[in-house]
Structure 1
Amino acid sequence: MFSKVRLEKKQTLLTYNFTKKGSDSLYEYLYKCIKNDILHGTIQIGEKLPSKRTFAKNLGISVITVENAYEQLMAEGFIYSIPKRGFYVSDLKDIDFSEKAVQKDHLILTGGTTSYLADFTSNQTDSQIFPFTIWARTMREILNENQTQLMINPPCGGVMELRESIANYLHDFRGMIIKPEQIIIGAGTEYLYGLLIQLLGNDKIYGVENPGYPKIARIYDSMKISYKIIDIDEDGVPINSLEQEHVDIIHLSPSHHFPTGIVTPVSRRYELLGWACKNENRYIIEDDYDSELRLSGKPIPTLQSIDVSDKIIYMNTFTKTLSSTVRISYMVLPNALTERFYERLSFYSCTVSNFEQYALARFMESGSFEKHINRLRNYYQHKRDAILSIFRQNPLGKYITIREEEAGVHFLIHIRTKKSEEEIISNAKSNGIKLAPLSKYNMKEQKQQQFNNTYVINYSSIDLSQLDKIAAALYKIIL
C-alpha cells in the first residue's frame, strides 16, 4: 500500500504542453505527465496538487479532464485526497511497480457524484420524477398508525401487507395468479440470488445469457457455482444451446433483454417452457426488471402467466420504477419451491426494514404506485423522444443507427466510424461523455467483433437542457 503523509508544502504551479500528447486522450496525457513528475521527484512527497478547477483553467482544459487524471492517479496510489483540503502526493517508498494498474473502467469518481456532461452508463433516477410529497405523507401515516407493527420482526418472506399488495398488482397488471406466500421480499436481487442458489442447489448447472448482465456471472463465480454462457439469437436463448450445455437453471429477461433490448416471441417462450418441463430439476428465472416501462404497444405477458407446469421463478425490483437507491426487490416462487423455501430457509430474516415495507404497501394500495407508473412512462417517453429527435436532426444522425428504443430507459446506438471503440470511449470521456459499449456485456472473446462500436445508451439521468451540447460533442468525437 502507498503511504499518506501530511506535509504542508507550497503548492507547485504545474504546466504541460498538450501538443505532444500524440494518440493519448487529454486526461491520459495529463495523468502520465503528473505520474512522471512524481516518479522523478519534480513533484515531491506530501506536495499539494492544484485544485481541479484552477488546474483546468491554467491548462486551458476541462475540469472533467483533470478530474479523470486525478482519479487514475488516486486509483494507482500516487496521490490521495483530504476532504475539503485537496490532493497530495503519496509516499512512494512501498510501491511495487510490477503491480498491475487499476483498470480505468473500474474507477469511481470521488464522493459518488459525477460532473459528466452526459453519463450514458448511469441508471440513477432523476430526482424530479420521484413522488417525494406522496411518499413523505405515506411515511407519516405509517409512523402514526402502525407503531406496534413497525416494532415487530417481519416474517422471513417479508411483511404480509406488502406481499398482498404485490400479488394484487401482478394480477391486475401482469395477469399473474399467485398467492402472497409465494412472494419473497429482499434488499436487492443480488441477495435473492443468494437465496435461490441455496434453494436450488449448488450442484446444478446455471445458464447466463450472452451478451447479458455481468453481475449474474459474478454472483455465480463468488458462490463457486458451475454455469454456462449461452449466446442469444434474434429471439433470445436458443433451446438447442441449453440442451447441448446441459443447463438446469437459465436466467432470462424475455420481456426486455438487457442490454440488447430483444423481446422473446411467444413461440420461443413456449419452447422454453417445454424445455423446462422435460426434467424436474429444470427451472427458468424470469427477470422482469423494467416491464412497467414499455413505452409503446401492449405490455408483454410474463412467462409466469402462461406457465402451467410451475417452472418459472419470477423476479422484479422497484429500483427502476421508484429509484435506483430503493433496494426493494422480490421473487415469486413456484408452489413446490415455496414449500422448500419455508422448510429450509425460513431462519433467514427479511433484509428490508418494516418502515419501507409498510410504506410501499400503503403506496401501492392507495393507487399512488399506478399513478406514478403512468407518470413515469410519459416522462421517459418524452425524454426518449427528445433525445432521438436531437440525435437524428444533428449532423450526428448521418453516422448512427438507433435500435431497441421502444422499452425501458435504454436503447442501442451503432456508430459508423473508422475510429476504434477504444478511441471513441477515451475521446468521449475527455469531452465529458461516458459511454458503455455493448461489447462490455459480451463474455466471449470470439464474438467481440459483432458488437463493435455499438453502445448501450441509458438516458434516465440525462439533462435534456444539455442535449444540443451532448449531440455536438458526440459528433466531434466520432469524426
Structure 2
Amino acid sequence: MNMLTFTINEDIEIPIYLQLYNYIKSEIQSGNIPFDTKLPSKRKLSEHLNISQNTIQSAYDQLIEEGYVIPKARRGFFVCKLDNIIKLQVSQEINVPENAASKKAVKFDFSYHGVDTENFPFGIWRKITKDVINEYDKELLKIGDSQGNASLRKSIAEYLRQSRGVNCTFEDIIVSSGTEYLFQILIQMFNKSSVYGLENPGYEKLNLLFKSNGAKFKPIKIDKSGMSLEEIIKSKANILCITPAHQFPSGSIMPINRRIQLLNWGNEEDNRYIIEDDYDSEFKYSGKPIPALQGLDTNGKVIYMGAFSKSLSPSLRISYMVLPPKLMKKYKENLSYIFCPVPIIEQKVLYNFIQKGYFERHLNKMRNVYKKKREILVDSISKLMGNVQVIGADAGLHVLLKINNGMTEQELISSALKIGIKVYGISKYYVDKSYIKEEPLILLGYATMIEGDIVKAVELLKECWKIK
C-alpha cells in the first residue's frame, strides 16, 4: 500500500504511538485499509513520518495484540479480516480535568472538604507502612474478617471509650471505606418500609444515597438544637440520621435535653433507631468535648458512625460504625458475606499509628493548627466585616456567615468567584428547599487554607461584597 497519510498532533498529551495506533485502527474499521493489505515496513514508515522505529513497533504491537494486524515472517504486517465490527465513538480527550479553566482561576478555596496537607506525618506513616509490609506476615495476602481487622477494631474501641464515651467492644465495630458504604450496609439491613429522617439542611450526599437505593426518606427541619421531636413525629420517620456533636452545616451542638428526647422517642417503638454521625467531633476548641449520644443509650437504639477523614485524611477512606447487639446479630446472620473493602495493609498501618500513640499526638497538634486558623478567620471577619455574623459553635472545620448586604446567596458566590475566591452557599444542603431562609448564609471551610491566605481572602471578600 502507499504510505499512510497520518499527521502527528503535538498539541495533545496522547503519546505518538497511540495516535498512530488509533489512526490505523480507525482506517481498518472504516474499510479504508482493507483485509490482507500489507502495512508499510517500520523502516519506511519511520523515514516517512520522521519518528523512531520503536514508536511504530509499539503501535503495531498494540494492533497485533487486539487482532487488527497479523505479522508474517519475512513478509511484513498484514490487516486481518474483521467480521461485522462495531465501532465505538470514544472521545479522544485524555487527562483534561473538568472545569480546568475555572479551577486555575481560583486563588483561595474555602472548601469544607479536605484537611491541612502541610502537617500530615508523612515520615511516620511511611515508616509504619514499610514495617507493616512484612514477607512473613501472610495475613497481608488474606481477605480478612468481614468486620475489619480485629486489632484495628480493638484500638478504635479503646479510643472511642476514652475520647467519646462510646460503650462498645471491638466485636460491635464494622470497618469500611467511607460512611456511604456503611449506609449501604444499613439500608440492606433495615426493612424496605423503613423511613429515614434527614436533617434539613444536612449532609448533601445522604438524600442521593437513599434515592439511588430506593430507600424512603423525609427531610426534617432543624432548629438551633437540632431535630425537634414535633417535626420528627410529623415526618413519620423511624430511623433518624443526625450529627448531634456538631450539626452540619449549621454548626450547632445538640443540648442534653434534646438528646434525651430523641432517645426516649427511639425507645417507644422496636423499629426506631438513631444513626449518630460523629464526623468531626475531634475538633472542639473550648470547653470539654461533648460525649457521644451513643454513650447515653441503654437500650441499643443508637448506631454510632465515625471516620478518619477529618482527623487524618479523606483519601484514607477508612470509616467505622458501632452496631447495637441486636443489629450486629442481624448483620452476622444476613450480611457477613460483605468483605471489608479497606486493604488489610492500610488497616494494619492505621492500627500501629493509633497503638503507638502517633494518632493522639497528631490530633493534639491538629487541634492547635485548626484552632489558630479558626481564630484568624473569625478575627479577620470581625475586624473587616463588622456587620457580618459568624454562626456555629467553637468547633469543627467550618463557619457560617450571615451577610446582610442586599446580595443573594448566588450573587455572593458568583461575585467572589470572579475575583478568584470560592465560597459555598448553604442552600445546596437543603433537601426541602422551602425551608431556605431569605437571609443568605455562606459556608467557609478553613482546614485546607494557609494561615496567611485567610486574611488576604477576607480582605478581598470585603471589597467584593461591598461590606463597610
TM-score, normalised with respect to structure 2: 0.77
1:473 corresponding residue in structure 2: 460
1:440 corresponding residue in structure 2: 428
2:128 to 138, 157, 162: 138
Q: Which segment drifts farther, 341-350 or 195-204?
A: 195-204
Assess, with a 3 A threshold, how the Cα gap between structure 1 residues 145 and 129 changes in structure 2: closer, same or farther: farther
1:427 to 400, 415, 418: 415
1:407 corresponding residue in structure 2: 395
Amino acid at match of 2:416: A
Q: Percent identity?
A: 35
2:207 corresponding residue in structure 1: 217
Q: Within 2, Cα distance between the matches of 1:350 and 1:174? A: 24
Amino acid at match of 1:359: V
1:383 corresponding residue in structure 2: 373
Q: Which segment drifts farther, 465-474 or 190-199?
A: 465-474
| 1:259-312 deviation per Cα after TM superposition (whole angstroms, max 9, x unaligned) | 001111001101100000011000000000111111111110111101001100
| 1:382-421 deviation per Cα after TM superposition (whole angstroms, max 9, x unaligned) | 1111122222222xx2231112150110011111212222
**Are 2:112 and 2:397, in contact at CA under 8 Å, matched by a contact in 1?**
no
Q: Within 2, Cα distance between the matches of 1:263 and 1:115? A: 36
| 1:43-83 deviation per Cα after TM superposition (whole angstroms, max 9, x unaligned) | xxxxxxxxxxxxxxxxxxxxxxxxxxxxxxxxxxxx99665
2:181 to 186, 191, 200: 191
Assess, with a 3 A threshold, how the Cα gap between structure 1 residues 117 and 422 changes in structure 2: closer, same or farther: same
| 1:3-48 deviation per Cα after TM superposition (whole angstroms, max 9, x unaligned) | xxx99799xxxxxxxxxxxxxxxxxxxxxxxxxxxxxxxxxxxxxx
Alignment of 1:96-175 (within 5 A): 108-110=98-100, 116-144=106-134, 147-175=137-165
1:314 to 304, 325, 328: 304
Shift of 1:124: 1.7
Shift of 1:121: 2.4
- 3-state DSSP class of the match of 2:436? helix
Q: Within 1, Cα distance between the matches of 2:199 and 2:394? A: 21
**Are 2:275 and 2:303, in contact at CA under 8 Å, matched by a contact in 1?**
yes
**2:325 is the counterpart of 1:352:** no
Q: Within 1, Cα distance between the matches of 2:338 and 2:251? A: 35
Assess, with a 3 A threshold, how the Cα gap between structure 1 residues 7 and 211 changes in structure 2: closer, same or farther: farther
Shift of 1:318: 0.3
- 3-state DSSP class of the match of 1:168? helix
**2:445 is the counterpart of 1:458:** yes
Amino acid at match of 2:398: H
**Are 2:273 and 2:301, in contact at CA under 8 Å, matched by a contact in 1?**
yes
Shift of 1:458: 0.6
2:193 to 203, 212, 231: 203
Amino acid at match of 2:158: N
Amino acid at match of 1:252: I
1:284 corresponding residue in structure 2: 274
Q: Within 1, Cα distance between the matches of 2:173 and 2:243? A: 19
- 3-state DSSP class of the match of 2:377? helix
Q: Within 2, Cα distance between the matches of 1:258 and 1:108? A: 27
Q: Within 1, Cα distance between the matches of 2:159 and 2:98? A: 37
Assess, with a 3 A threshold, how the Cα gap between structure 1 residues 475 and 111 changes in structure 2: closer, same or farther: closer
| 1:204-250 deviation per Cα after TM superposition (whole angstroms, max 9, x unaligned) | 11100101112111111001111111001111111122222211100
Q: Within 2, Cα distance between the matches of 1:111 and 1:426? A: 16
Shift of 1:149: 1.7
**Are 2:155 and 2:355, in contact at CA under 8 Å, matched by a contact in 1?**
yes
1:50 corresponding residue in structure 2: none
RMSD, matched Cα: 2.3
Assess, with a 3 A threshold, how the Cα gap between structure 1 residues 349 and 82 changes in structure 2: closer, same or farther: closer
Alignment of 1:9-158 (within 5 A): 108-110=98-100, 116-144=106-134, 147-158=137-148
Shift of 1:373: 0.6
**Are 1:405 and 1:412, in contact at CA under 8 Å, matched by a contact in 2?**
no
**2:305 is the counterpart of 1:305:** no
- 3-state DSSP class of the match of 2:354? helix
- 3-state DSSP class of the match of 1:443? coil
**2:320 is the counterpart of 1:333:** no
Amino acid at match of 1:120: F
**Are 1:295 and 1:406, in contact at CA under 8 Å, matched by a contact in 2?**
yes
1:416 to 386, 404, 408: 404
Assess, with a 3 A threshold, how the Cα gap between structure 1 residues 368 and 112 changes in structure 2: closer, same or farther: farther
Amino acid at match of 2:447: S
Instruction: Number of aligned residue pairs: give it.
Output: 381
- 3-state DSSP class of the match of 1:412? strand
Shift of 1:173: 1.2
**Are 2:253 and 2:393, in contact at CA under 8 Å, matched by a contact in 1?**
no
2:357 to 364, 367, 375: 367
Shift of 1:378: 0.5
Q: Within 2, Cα distance between the matches of 1:291 and 1:124? A: 16
Q: Which segment drifts farther, 137-146 or 335-344?
A: 137-146
**Are 2:195 and 2:237, in contact at CA under 8 Å, matched by a contact in 1?**
yes
| 1:135-168 deviation per Cα after TM superposition (whole angstroms, max 9, x unaligned) | 1111112113862221121111001010001011
Q: Within 1, Cα distance between the matches of 2:327 and 2:227? A: 24
Assess, with a 3 A threshold, how the Cα gap between structure 1 residues 109 and 416 changes in structure 2: closer, same or farther: same
Unpaired runs of 5+ in structure 1? 1-5, 11-78, 87-106
Q: Within 2, Cα distance between the matches of 1:136 and 1:7? A: 42
Q: Within 2, Cα distance between the matches of 1:266 and 1:108? A: 45
- 3-state DSSP class of the match of 2:286? coil
| 1:172-205 deviation per Cα after TM superposition (whole angstroms, max 9, x unaligned) | 1112221111100101110110000111122111
**Are 1:183 and 1:332, in contact at CA under 8 Å, matched by a contact in 2?**
yes
Assess, with a 3 A threshold, how the Cα gap between structure 1 residues 417 and 147 changes in structure 2: closer, same or farther: same
**Are 1:117 and 1:466, in contact at CA under 8 Å, matched by a contact in 2?**
no
